[in-house]
Structure 1
Amino acid sequence: MTSFGTELDTARRIAREAGALLLQVYATPFAVENKAGGMGPVTEADTRANALIVEALHRAFPGDGVVAEESDDNSAASRFERCWFVDPLDGTQEFVHRNGEFAIHIGLAVGGQPVVGVVYRPVGDLLYSGVVGQGGFVEAAGERRALRVSDVAEPSALRLVVSRSHRAKLTDQVVARLGITQERESGSVGVKCGLLAEAAADLYLHVSPKSYRWDNCAPEAVLRSAGGILTDLGGTPYRYDGSELQNVRGLLACNAAAFPRVQPVVATFAREAGLLP
């Protein structure tokens, strides 16, 4: 079995280099522009970190494809057996609002399956990393701990992590049906999945169709390395083979113990909302 140790170490190093760049921009009065098509804000931090990460990955693994949010050509996933998915700044809104909850995502998919994941939050120097089937770790404040999702199976006892912005009706419906009473807010998709991976939360829903594979490749690998599950709202895993890049059916991240009871409830409301066929 391939260990992917070189890939993991290289991605961790590149993420930290990009994180240092983000913090340099973060400390300045940077300008904020809006992407075409209502795709949200973008800053020089996004574009400069994108260039740094893509160049470093191509240099380290010249035979691999790279799909990155701020790159113009994202056809590599359909042309390469091994493809990296990069979000150079997940949580640009958080970056703009200066609340620290943004992260760098660097994930590797092989044969359309997520394998290696690194999620790095520069503020606080928090790094999640893992290889699916081989375990993962979180590093913070000079300490390194193994990742393992919680074993909470009772839906009403689940701790839900939600976005700081945009609260959706579907989320409220799921919360009411499952009897969830514990919630916490967080920014980046990667940071949310990291909280699940270190058993600080148990469930995360992204009910908008406006996310992409670079948002979830690295977080899924980290979460799965810790024994968790990430699928669309219907319970079907996404593929990373280039057949589609947009997560049109939303995201459901959960610990394995509660997933069988949570997923059917989520799918029912998602179908009613028109997010699933």
Structure 2
Amino acid sequence: MRDLELLINAARDAGDIARGYFNASPEVWEKSGGQGPVTEADLHVNRQLEADLQAARPDYGWLSEETEDGDARLKTERQFIIDPIDGTRAFIEGSKDWAHSIAITENGKPVAAVIYLPMRDLMYAAEIGKGATCNNDPIFATNDKPIDTATVLSNKPNVDPKHWAGAVPPFKRTFRSSLAYRLALVAQGRFDAMLTLRPTWEWDVAAGALIVTEAGGIASDQKGGPALFNNPHPQINGMVAAGGIHSTLITALV
């Protein structure tokens, strides 16, 4: 079984688990250090993904939001980078905009990835050098356009003037709670860009970075540098992902 096929099957199985908890009052805990909530659905999905994926690829390293990290993954050639449920707050609130985000990386770069939204039955997928799809149909990021007609997925704090070298560009800002879903929507060309201008956990963006790139866009850190994964401390310096307006956004940022 190819890596991408393995990820697609695992994501669908994860969706079956998560749907069983959705709108069913799952138990919720607050993580230490202000890291947000986690539900019993996150933990169940994580256990199943780890069991299935590690059984299929025992030589791959493992990095997941819901598994205690160690340095064993740093000694492997390939790694799984997983967010069992990206958008846990949306999941708790009954929104459909949460996703399973699953990537495989090699030499710091994603090589296969899926983002699956079970409640919308949207399967975004990509394999390096082979393009990106949504439910098996090819998807493409948008071409260049005037910044004042662009629509950007971003938290409100990212449009604070302190982040911008001059005036905040006059794009239209909108929002989705899942970073993975934001990246998928950019890859699909439904939005022109997404921004997150703070240290960003790898599991939130590893899969989406490949899907955007394979859709013809660019996914970089907030300075325009490469987004590299499987770091000893698994964070990158924010992310800017876009089609044709990527360079315009990077130039405008501090």
Amino acid at match of 2:169: L
Aligned-partner Cα distance in 1 for 2:170–2:103: 34
Superposition deviation, residue 258 in structure 1: 1.5
Q: What residue is the counterpart of 1:260 in the other structure?
A: 247
Q: What residue is the counterpart of 1:275 in the other structure?
A: none
1:132 aligns with 2:128: yes
SS at match of 2:83: strand
Q: What residue is the counterpart of 2:100 in the other structure?
A: 104
SS at match of 2:59: coil
Runs of 4+ off more than 6 Å: none
Aligned-partner Cα distance in 1 for 2:50–2:197: 29
SS at match of 2:175: strand
Amino acid at match of 2:230: D
Contact 1:75 1:242 in 2 (8 A): no
Aligned-partner Cα distance in 2 for 1:138–1:76: 33
CA 1:177–1:27 in 2, change beyond 3 Å: closer, same or farther?
A: closer
Amino acid at match of 1:178: P
Task: Write out aligned runs for 1:46-61 (5 A).
Answer: 46-61=42-57
Q: What residue is the counterpart of 1:14 in the other structure?
A: 10
SS at match of 1:178: coil
**TM-score normalised to the size of structure 1?**
0.86
1:226 aligns with 2:222: no
Contact 2:61 2:74 in 1 (8 A): no
Aligned-partner Cα distance in 2 for 1:34–1:129: 31
Unmatched tracts of structure 2, length 5 or more: none
Aligned-partner Cα distance in 2 for 1:157–1:29: 41
Task: Write out aligned runs for 1:75-154 (5 A).
Answer: 75-139=71-135, 144-154=136-146
- Offset from partner CA, 1:101-150 (integer Å, 9 cap, x none): 110011010111111110001111111000132101101xxxx4201111
Contact 1:103 1:191 in 2 (8 A): yes
Once superposed, what is the RMSD of the aligned Cα atoms?
Answer: 1.7
Contact 1:150 1:199 in 2 (8 A): yes
SS at match of 1:56: helix
Amino acid at match of 2:168: R
The structure 1 residue matched to 2:182, chosen from 157, 170, 192, is: 192
Amino acid at match of 2:58: P
Aligned-partner Cα distance in 2 for 1:153–1:77: 41
Amino acid at match of 1:214: W
Superposition deviation, residue 172 in structure 1: 4.2
Q: What residue is the counterpart of 2:149 in the other structure?
A: 157
- Offset from partner CA, 1:189-211 (integer Å, 9 cap, x none): 111111111100011111232x3
Superposition deviation, residue 45 in structure 1: 0.6
Aligned residues: 251
Identity %: 27
Superposition deviation, residue 22 in structure 1: 0.6
Aligned-partner Cα distance in 2 for 1:252–1:8: 25
Superposition deviation, residue 176 in structure 1: 5.2
SS at match of 1:208: strand
**TM-score normalised to the size of structure 2?**
0.93
Aligned-partner Cα distance in 2 for 1:130–1:119: 9
Q: What residue is the counterpart of 1:272 in the other structure?
A: none
1:212 aligns with 2:201: yes
SS at match of 2:235: coil
